[in-house]
Amino acid sequence: MQGRMLSRRAFLGNLALATTGAVLAACAPQATPAPSGDQPAATQAPATSAPAEEEPTLAPEAPPDQKWALTWWTFPIGLPEAEWPHGKWEGELCARYTEEVDPNVTIEVTPLGWESWEKASTAIGAGTPPNLLGRSYDWFTEYAILSSDCAVEVELEEDLWNDLPEGYDEALLWRGKIYSLPWYVMAQGPLLNLSVVQEAGAEDLLPEPTCRSWDLDQFVELMKACTFTRSDGAPVFGTVIPTAYSTTAFVWPILVLLWNAGSDTMSFDESKGWSHPIREEAGIAWLKFMQDLYTVHGVCPDPRGLDGSRVGDYFSARSSAFHLPGPSISAARGADVTTDPETLTITTAEGNDIWFVQNPTAPGVPHTTWGGPKMDVNLQPFNTGETGAIPPTIAFAHWIVNRENQEWLSQYLIPVRSSAVELASGDPFLQYIFNCWVPNARVTSMYCETQDRDIATEMMQLLYLPTPPEQVAEEWAARLEGLDCYDSVV
C-alpha cells in the first residue's frame, strides 16, 4: 500500500463533506455480515485478596551468541481461514525471524483453539507457561502474578510507544505496570441501515456526517421514523433489543449502550472502593430509556425472550434500521460486499446500503465502543524459569508488531500502529474505525465478568416484564454486591 493518511482533523473534515450527499444514492436490499469478534467467556480468576505488591521479573541482559528455542502459544486472531488457516501466518513469522533477524533464536508456534483457554490459564497458574502467549489479556497477567509469579514487566520500545493510538499508554497498564505488547486493535460498533432510513424518508434525521455521532434524543426520533409497516404487511423496526442469549457473554452490546448513557454496572475508586452506578440517577434514566423504546415508542419487537442471534437476522432482512454494537472492519471487507470510499457506504450481496456509526450518547457523555487494549489482543511474554530467554522473547514480540508486519495485518484486522493505518490510505473504512471508534474503545470489567453478564441478562429480562426501572436498578446493584470476586486488585 502506498500513500499517507490524512491527519485525523483533515480526515474527519473530508468525511463530513463526502457523506453529506450519500443519502441521495438509490439503494436495494442486502445481507449484513454477522457481528464479528464475539469471544468466549474467559475462565474466571479465583476470588482472592490482593497479594502484597511484588516487583515483576525484569528482563536481564541476554548472553551474546546464546541459542534459544522459544515457545509461542497463540489463539486465532481472525485471519480468513481459507487463505490463512490458524497458525500458518504465525509459523511464517517464526521462520522469517530466525532467517532474517536472529539465527540464534528459533520459535515453535502452537496454534490454540478456544477450547484451550483453560489450558493456558492452568499452565500460567502452575508456573509452566510458554515464552510468549498470543491474544493474552489482563486476567492471564493476574494468574501469573497471583499464582506463579511468572509475569514479566515489559518496557515498550520507543518506536512502538510513539506509534500507539491515543490513550493506549494509560490503558495498557495493569497494576500500574505494562506486562504485554499491543498486537492489534479490537473495536466493535453499531451499523445503520441507510436503505431503511431512505425507505422511511428520514434522511434529515441521520447522525452528523463526520464520525456520525448523535445523542439519545436524535436516536429515538430516527428509530420512530424507521418503525413502520410495509404495503405487504411486513413490520419494520428501528432496532432490536434481545434479552436471551446462547451464552450470556453476548449481552455486552447492551452494556455498551449503558456506558454511552453515562452509567455502568460497577465502578472502582481507590479511596471508596466498589460502587454500582446502575442504581444512581443516570443508571435509572437509562433503564427507563431502554424500557420506553418498547413500551412507549414501540420501535423494537417484543424483547421478552428474543434471542441475540435475531439482531443480525432482522438487520439483514431489512427489517430493522439500527444494529447493536458488534460489527467491526470485517463488515466492510469480503467478496460479497462493495464499498463507496467517498461516502463510506457499504453494500453487501443483497443490496442494503449500511454505515458505520457511533453509539448514541447522553448529553455531555463521551462516545464509547467495545474494544481497546484490555481485550485479548496482546502479546505477553512470561518467565518460564529460564530468565535468559526473556530478552529474546521480548525482542521477538517487538518484531511481530513492527511496521512491516502491522501493515500486512491491516489487510484483515485493525493494526495497533498509527503508522500502519496511515499507510492504508486506500482503506477509508479502516481510517474511520481508527479515528472514530478506537480512541474511546473499552471493555467491561474482567473482575466478575461471567457473573456480571449473567446478572445483566437476568435484569434486562426483568425490565421488560415490565418492572419499574427503579426496582430493576436496586435489584441489579444488590445482586452485584452479593458477588465475592471484587476482592481482586484493579
Assess whether pLDDT exceeds 90 at residue 38: no
Can you list the domains of the chain with their CATH numbers? 8-30+188-370 (3.40.190.10), 68-186+372-401 (3.40.190.10)
Q: What is the pLDDT of residue 59?
A: 59
Q: What is the pLDDT of residue 63?
A: 63
- In angstroms, the CA 446 to CA 244 distance is 21
Assess whether pLDDT exceeds 50 at residue 26: no
**Which residue type sits at 423?**
L
Mean pLDDT of 177-185: 94
Residue 488 C-alpha cell reads as 481482586
Residue reference for cell 518460564: 384
Q: Residue 97: CA atoms inside 13 Å, Cβ hemisphere, count?
A: 28
Taking only the tens place, the pLDDT of each residue in 279-316 is 999 999 999 999 999 999 999 999 999 999 999 999 99
13 pLDDT tier (thresholds 50, 70, 90): low
Residue closest to 172 by CA, chosen among 366, 367, 378: 378
Residue closest to 25 by CA, chosen among 230, 225, 197: 197
CA–CA distances in Å: residue 428 to residues 9, 209, 343? 14, 14, 10
Taking only the tens place, the pLDDT of each residue in 49-70 is 344 445 556 656 656 679 999 9
Indicate the Cα dihedral angle 448, 454, 457, 460, nearest 10°.
Answer: -70
> Quick check: 164 and 416 in contact, CB under 8 A?
yes
Assess whether pLDDT exceeds 90 at residue 167: no
CA–CA distances in Å: residue 218 to residues 143, 208, 343, 377? 44, 10, 21, 34
CA–CA distances in Å: residue 83 to residues 87, 287, 314? 11, 45, 30
* Sign of torsion over alpha carbons 372, 376, 377, 383: positive
Who contacts 22 (Cβ-Cβ below 8 Å, separation ≥6)?
Answer: 194, 209, 340, 343, 344, 345, 355
Q: What is the DSSP string of 169-204?
A: HHHT-BTTB--SEE-EE-EE--EEEHHHHHHTT-GG
Question: How do beta strands 105-111 and 68-74 pair?
Answer: parallel
Indicate the Cα dihedral angle 420, 422, 423, 426, nearest 10°.
Answer: 120
Q: What is the DSSP string of 200-231?
A: TT-GGGSPPTTT---BHHHHHHHHHHT-EE-T
Q: Cis omega (within 30 of 0) on the bond before 360?
A: no
Q: Which residues are 339's β-sheet partners?
A: 346
CA–CA distances in Å: residue 199 to residues 38, 49, 298, 350? 31, 57, 19, 16
Taking only the tens place, the pLDDT of each residue in 311-351 is 999 999 999 999 999 999 999 988 899 999 999 999 988 89
Who contacts 65 (Cβ-Cβ below 8 Å, separation ≥6)?
Answer: 104
Angle between helices 281-295 and 449-463 (to 10 degrees): 50
Q: What is the pLDDT of residue 451?
A: 84
Mean pLDDT of 12-39: 43
Q: What is the pLDDT of residue 212?
A: 97
CA–CA distances in Å: residue 164 to residues 160, 193, 406, 438? 7, 32, 12, 11
Taking only the tens place, the pLDDT of each residue in 229-286 is 999 999 999 999 999 998 888 899 999 999 999 999 988 777 877 889 999 999 999 9
Average pLDDT of the chain to the nearest whole number = 86
Q: Who has greater pLDDT, 98 or 4?
A: 98
Who contacts 453 (Cβ-Cβ below 8 Å, separation ≥6)?
Answer: 41, 248, 249, 251, 252, 444
Q: What is the pLDDT of residue 363?
A: 95
Taking only the tens place, the pLDDT of each residue in 403-458 is 999 999 999 999 999 999 887 667 899 999 999 999 889 887 555 767 888 999 99
End-to-end CA distance of the chain: 41
Mean pLDDT of 135-162: 90
Assess whether pLDDT exceeds 90 at residue 134: yes
Q: 10 Å Cβ neighbour count for 392?
A: 22
Q: Who has greater pLDDT, 3 or 388?
A: 388
Assess whether pLDDT exceeds 70 at residue 33: no
> Quick check: 322 and 257 in contact, CB under 8 A?
no
Total-model pTM? 0.83
Q: Strand 369-371: give its sheet, edge to edge.
A: 187-188, 369-371, 441-442
Largest distance between two CA atoms of the chain: 77
Query: Which phi-psi region, left, alpha or beta, contains residue 28 (left: φ > 0; alpha: ψ -120 to 50)?
Result: beta
DSSP state of 435: I
Taking only the tens place, the pLDDT of each residue in 455-478 is 999 999 999 999 999 999 999 999
- In angstroms, the CA 27 to CA 341 distance is 16
Assess whether pLDDT exceeds 80 at residue 86: yes
146 pLDDT tier (thresholds 50, 70, 90): confident
Assess whether pLDDT exceeds 70 at residue 2: no
289-313: b (≥16 Cβ within 10 Å) or e = bbbebbeeeebbbebeebebeebbe
Residue 283 C-alpha cell reads as 443508571
Residue reference for cell 460486499: 337
The phi and psi torsions of 346 (rounded to 5 degrees) equal -110, 130
Assess whether pLDDT exceeds 80 at residue 4: no
Mean pLDDT of 91-120: 96
